[in-house]
Amino acid sequence: MNKKTIRDIDVAGKRVLVRVDFNVPLNAERQITDDTRIKAALPTLTYLLDHGAALILMSHLGRPNGQVVDKLRLTPIAQRLRELLGHPVQTASDSIGPEVEDQASALQPGQVLLLENLRFHKEEEKNNPDFARQLASLGDLYVNDAFGTAHRAHASTEGVTKTLPGVAGFLMEKELNFLGSALENPQRPLVAIIGGAKVSDKIAVLERLISLSDSILIGGGMANTFLKAQGYEIGDSLFEESKLDVARNLIAQAQQKGSRFLLPSDVAIADRFAADADHKIVASSAVPQGWRILDIGPAAIEEFRQVLAEARTIVWNGTLGVAEFPEFAKGTDAIIDILAERTKAGVLTIIGGGDSAAAVEQAGAATKMTHVSTGGGASLEFLEGRTLPGVAALADKG
């Protein structure tokens, strides 16, 4: 990574404006159901506090669309951060304005202030220059540790750097280093596992991974489109008719490059889309009418296992079945177990955010992987090879 980090700057006695990604899931009682993203920020925050900085933290939560929405206030995040950090955390009633400016200017080294939800202001997502300047005026230095929002050119991720040059926090650095090493200089064989619902969501990432990988393993709803493109009978399974030619072209690209492009040889099918649906295992080419594919089958799992047994680098993005239904999460669960085994054997395993990262976290297997990305859309766009505005805006080394 060629970007400066917090190791490259002197933060002692400075007010450091830190963009974090505390966009965590809450239940109906506004209790945090997954604090992974808060925990992921702790190394950066601890380092800055230990080196004499005062911290001004800014984050968004949910989609308030420029309106103040009480259920999207950051109060429960502040409480959980206090517990995890073991340190007092002040809160602000807004993210800009005279009251916030007074709070920020009064901060002493070692103190922490969490601003209110950035997206209560429509100017945040519009990257409004005046809003960005008001945010920047709160601090002496800027740190971006929110990889999950780095694919957005918002006021808090890109606009502030017009006034306050920024550097990367440890989480940002970690994400860029792991995802970058997997794609730019991987230990081979490099195997990519791609799932998810639609081919249309993953065309760019598939094209790039085909050009880089030794093998591509396909699962999830998108596999239906590839199977249909190959002339298979897939019953009532959902597929993208408009993407059949795209699917054929992607398979042809892999063949031309000499990469394996492996579709599931058997599948778990159901007579309806429900957790308690009647289900059975059939060959991928023989799905009867009235039935739909909801997961990869046991033979496909074993075939995938054999390919992964040879891998030295594995990148996974997207679940391989309807993982919210236990009966149709077997493919996804099996891949988690296989990757945990491969990690233990010294293989670099990178979970590229989104649903696959959530599945790994839910299975309690995050610590068994080399790296689980905190970025959903950001991870996908990075894998596609796109420039992330929030990263490009940070100061280069040298």
The answer to whether position 389 is within a domain reads: no
User: Please, are residues 227 and 296 in contact by the beta-carbon 8 Å criterion?
Assistant: no
The answer to whether position 317 is within a domain reads: yes
Burial environment of residue 37 by CB neighbours within 10 A (0 to 12, 13 to 18, 19 or more): buried
Asked if 302 and 365 sit in the same domain, the reply is yes
| Residue after which a domain boundary falls, among 138, 173, 208 | 173
| CA 212 – CA 112 distance, rounded (Å) | 43
- Is 385 a residue whose pLDDT tops 90? no
> What is the helix (H) or strand (E) element at residue 7, kind and residue range?
none
pLDDT tens for 23-56 read: 999 999 999 998 989 999 999 999 999 999 999 9
The answer to whether position 192 is within a domain reads: yes
Q: Could you give the percent of the chain with pLDDT greater than 90? A: 89
Asked if 203 and 118 sit in the same domain, the reply is no
Tokens, residue 352: 């590229």
Asked if 190 and 169 sit in the same domain, the reply is no
State mean pLDDT over 291-304.
Answer: 98
In the residue annotation, 243 being an active-site residue is answered as no
Asked if 234 and 156 sit in the same domain, the reply is no
State mean pLDDT over 207-228.
Answer: 95
- Is 22 a residue whose pLDDT tops 80? yes
User: Of 3, 15, 19, 37, which is the active-site residue?
Assistant: 37
- Give residue 95's pLDDT: 98
- Is 281 a residue whose pLDDT tops 90? yes
Asked if 150 and 208 sit in the same domain, the reply is no
Cα–chain center distance at 295: 22
| CA 378 – CA 387 distance, rounded (Å) | 10
- Is 398 a residue whose pLDDT tops 90? no
pLDDT tens for 100-145 read: 999 999 999 999 999 999 999 999 999 999 999 999 999 999 999 9
Asked if 193 and 169 sit in the same domain, the reply is no
Asked if 301 and 254 sit in the same domain, the reply is yes
- Is 383 a residue whose pLDDT tops 90? no
Q: Which residues pair with 296 in a beta bridge?
A: 267
- Is 353 a residue whose pLDDT tops 80? no
- Give residue 384's pLDDT: 86
The answer to whether position 33 is within a domain reads: yes
- Is 197 a residue whose pLDDT tops 90? no
pLDDT tier at 379, thresholds 50, 70, 90: confident
Q: Which residues pair with 289 in a beta bridge?
A: none
Asked if 199 and 146 sit in the same domain, the reply is no
Asked if 152 and 214 sit in the same domain, the reply is no
In the residue annotation, 195 being an active-site residue is answered as no
User: Of 62, 377, 385, 386, which is the active-site residue?
Assistant: 377
The answer to whether position 286 is within a domain reads: yes
In the chain, the number of structural domains is 2
| Residue after which a domain boundary falls, among 128, 143, 173 | 173
CATH number of the domain bearing residue 267: 3.40.50.1260
User: Of 39, 133, 162, 198, which is the active-site residue?
Assistant: 198
The answer to whether position 256 is within a domain reads: yes
Tokens, residue 41: 């920020």
- Is 330 a residue whose pLDDT tops 80? yes
The answer to whether position 396 is within a domain reads: no
| Residue after which a domain boundary falls, among 110, 139, 173 | 173
Asked if 147 and 234 sit in the same domain, the reply is no
Asked if 302 and 210 sit in the same domain, the reply is yes
| CA 216 – CA 307 distance, rounded (Å) | 9
In the residue annotation, 377 being an active-site residue is answered as yes
User: Of 159, 318, 352, 354, which is the active-site residue?
Assistant: 354
Q: Among 68, 76, 66, which Cα is nearest to 30's?
A: 76
Kindly provide the residue ranges of all beta strands, DSSP E only, lying in the chain, ordered along the sequence: 15-19, 54-58, 90-91, 112-114, 141-144, 166-168, 190-194, 215-218, 233-234, 260-262, 266-270, 279-283, 286-287, 292-296, 313-317, 348-351, 371-372
Asked if 303 and 342 sit in the same domain, the reply is yes
Note down the domain range covering 254: 186-384
pLDDT tier at 153, thresholds 50, 70, 90: very high
| CA 89 – CA 379 distance, rounded (Å) | 30
Which pTM value belongs to this model? 0.90
Burial environment of residue 208 by CB neighbours within 10 A (0 to 12, 13 to 18, 19 or more): middle
The answer to whether position 336 is within a domain reads: yes
- Give residue 185's pLDDT: 85
| CA 168 – CA 5 distance, rounded (Å) | 4
In the residue annotation, 330 being an active-site residue is answered as no
